[in-house]
Chains A and B, each alone.
Chain A
């Protein structure tokens, strides 16, 4: 059980390339922190620096307040699950899990080793595979063996390096829940690296978003979703991703208006404060902010209703996605195309994605009346990408709520473990 602190960690390779540019991160004891970002953002490098397989070029790494920059991996008492499992092919599953305990550094008796191995295999449902070799196991089984090898060591923290990326979608979902349950019941500090934002949102207590070696934002999943700090985080988190539109400020006699390709939005105090004299902003609005004006029971007066052509719809059973084409401003297009490279081509589409209730009668080719509230809009500076409408107070409240929820979940897990221990 340990806290991990990263202080301005920098990694520069011999050829001059800086993979990690000064990352600060505080991981509390028992917390599940996720490092997420597109390929090449430095998250795996960061993880390997924590475990000791990469040297730290600059900065301080502390485990439980002890500086461990120069400690060998074996002395840091951390357990790691690799992306391709790294199981020892010449050993059986039992021996693979027992491997850490058979090394010179540990002096456990054979009975103790046996107890621990069996406890781990019971937890991970590997009992019937103990005598088999890794070559004969399925992907999910191998992954569980890798996890078993990590948990028998009573390590201070677990490190996962994209463990689910080699599994098929269904198995990934199952293993995700298993990992979450495991972490809750063991209560061990966990650092988890992934490029999949779904895993990030569902597994983490807090998520650290990285881009090209720089930390963009560290917050709870809800905090990232509701109060992103910049354009990149806003576009990265959420599936389908946030829509980005150009917003021009038009000053009129009746009041200022923010002109979007799809509607004119009257500037209220919140938006006016955010716009702050700019003429052009990037407006972000999530697909779920829209509603079908004809089908909803909501009072439409507080928001903006607009009639839009629907080009295409996708009905998925519990939600209906509608695609609305529009024209975008040239400067905004340029800014978004830069973002596009990091977001896998999602932001360049000039179609608005709208998530409607599955019962909606909107159909492709028709015009539809859609409603949204200006409160759901995020305004971003076109130059820097900073979120101008970010509410610090709300963000802080979200973090507090997240911390409280985590505490309750840990307590519940401890109670359940105690109850089961008593019953057994």
Chain B
């Protein structure tokens, strides 16, 4: 590639800067809000006139007024989202492998159903589910949220993983079988290493979907036993009836974003494509 000339370089820098500002400005704004004092919230400037950690103390430090609301919610969110992601990815891997490799009656029905489920509006299910959970005893429990979260994460996981598996040539497993591997051994030793990028991508997507859910979180929980963060944020109260807890909510939003950023940074390195080039000629 020819080295870029200076005018081109400057143009690229300008474009990149514009895109960054456009994407990250809201996040930056919330971050700045979280550092503002209660009074400073109405100052009308972007940067806080007075920097303070009191919002973070409110939600995190023991004794903070919102701390007993926020920390349990954080724990719930992380736990529930991770478990739901794990189950979804395992199930989706098995399902997607079958869909990509085999031809069986009902294959298209499964895919269409998955698509239909993901398109269906959650709000219409929530009320009957609320009643059902209360009867069954799953109301306000982790399991009571994990199961609905599976309905959110499985369809997209199946579709994504099926696409990945289709890209892996079948000859690799066949060669492994001819070499003496049982079908499962062939799968484990040849397909799994190659599917790892796909699995991690799917895990990230599933985690996001589970993490960001609000409707299930607010309808199927009543105490901090199972309430996830997006729902808990709506329960924040300000110092008085007239004070909106904007600062605390902003701080909570920033704190909640951090795990997501960490997850993406860790897994992004695993998403290396081009791993299968060279296995099959042509």
**Which residue numbers of A lie inside 8 Å of B, CB to CB?**
51-53, 72-74, 78-80, 82, 84-90, 99-100, 103-106, 133-137, 139, 142, 149, 153, 166
Contact = CB atoms under 8 A, between A and B. Distances in A.
B178 A89 contact: no
Nearest to A134: B278
Contacts of B180: 74, 100, 103, 105-106, 153
Interface string B161-182: 0000000010110111111111
B276 interface: yes
Nearest to B179: A100
B168 to A, nearest CB: 10
14 contacts: A51-B178, A72-B177, A72-B182, A74-B181, A84-B169, A88-B190, A89-B276, A103-B185, A103-B189, A104-B182, A105-B180, A106-B180, A134-B279, A135-B279
Contact of A53 (B177, B193, B280): B177
Nearest to B176: A99
Contacts of B169: 84, 86
* Closest 8 pairs between A and B when the two form their complex, measured CB to CB: A135-B278, A89-B279, A86-B171, A100-B179, A86-B175, A134-B278, A84-B281, A84-B280
Contact of A86 (B174, B194, B275): B174
B171 A90 contact: no
B128 interface: no
Q: Among the interface residues B177, B274, B275, B278, which one has the most CB atoms of the partner chain A within 10 A?
A: B278
B282 A84 contact: yes
A72 B180 CA distance: 9
A53 B277 contact: no
Nearest to B182: A74
Contact of A74 (B171, B179, B282): B179
Contacts of A99: 176, 179, 189
B277 A90 contact: no
A307 to B, nearest CB: 50
Q: Among the interface residues B189, B194, B276, B277, which one has the most CB atoms of the partner chain A within 10 A?
A: B189
Given A86-B171, A86-B174, A88-B190, A133 B179 contact: no
Nearest to A87: B279
A89 B181 contact: no
B179 A103 contact: yes
Contacts of A85: 279-281
A189 B113 CA distance: 51
Interface in B135-194: 169, 171-172, 174-182, 185, 189-190, 193-194
Nearest to B194: A90
B181 A105 contact: yes
Interface in B182-214: 182, 185, 189-190, 193-194
B178 A137 contact: no
A51 B182 CA distance: 14
Contact of A166 (B176, B277, B282): B282
Contact of A88 (B185, B274, B279): B279
Nearest to B171: A86
A78 B178 CA distance: 7
Given A105-B181, A106-B180, A153-B179, A89 B171 contact: no
A78 B194 CA distance: 25
B160 to A, nearest CB: 20
Contacts of B176: 88, 99
A78 B193 CA distance: 25
Nearest to A135: B278
Nearest to A91: B193
A82 B171 contact: yes
B195 to A, nearest CB: 11
Contacts of B185: 103-104
Contact of A103 (B175, B181, B193): B181
Contacts of B190: 88
Contacts of A100: 179-180
Given A52-B178, A74-B178, 17 more contacts: A52-B177, A53-B174, A53-B177, A72-B177, A73-B174, A74-B177, A78-B178, A84-B171, A84-B282, A86-B169, A88-B190, A89-B277, A99-B179, A103-B185, A103-B189, A135-B279, A166-B281
Contacts of B178: 51-53, 73-74, 78-80
Nearest to A142: B281
Contacts of B189: 88, 99, 103
Interface string B239-282: 00000000000000000000000000000000000111111111
Contacts of B278: 87, 89, 133-137, 142
A72 B181 CA distance: 10
B103 to A, nearest CB: 9
A104 B180 CA distance: 9
B175 A82 contact: yes
B3 to A, nearest CB: 26
Contacts of B281: 84-85, 139, 142, 166
A24 B179 CA distance: 26
A161 to B, nearest CB: 10
